[in-house]
Amino acid sequence: MRKLYPFLIIFLIIIILILVSNFPIIKHKLRGLEADIIGLNRIVYLYTPFSTKPVKVYKGDIRFERRPDGSISLIVNGKKVDTNLYYVIEEK
């Protein structure tokens, strides 16, 4: 039994280090989950490939999902918007 103590201590130290090092990842995942469930106050700027000024700006409770073809679907205050323009998302 005494031979197991060093292994248990090393095992516990490794587990603690893994948990402590993963806190930012867990925090990021929880933030994403929160955004998916209730939405976040965001500002989304949509650009065309050749413009430096936004074509359209959406503000409010915004959720989004990326599609395999590169486009995104925005759910802006309960209304769905599909786009394939370039976008910048600012979280408040």
Distance between CA atoms of residues 40 and 89, nearest Å: 11
Distance between CA atoms of residues 54 and 4, nearest Å: 63
* Whole-structure pTM value: 0.57
Query: In the prediction, which pLDDT does 31 show?
Result: 67
Q: Which helix (H) or strand (E) holds 52?
A: none
pLDDT tens digit sequence for 41-84: 889 999 998 888 999 999 988 887 777 887 778 888 778 888 88
Query: How sure is the predictor about 1, in pLDDT bands with cuts at 50, 70 and 90?
Result: low
CB neighbour list of residue 51: distance below 8 Å, 6 or more residues apart = none
Contact criterion met (CB below 8 Å) for 46 and 87 = yes
Q: Three-state DSSP class for 67?
A: coil
pLDDT tens digit sequence for 35-48: 666 667 889 999 99
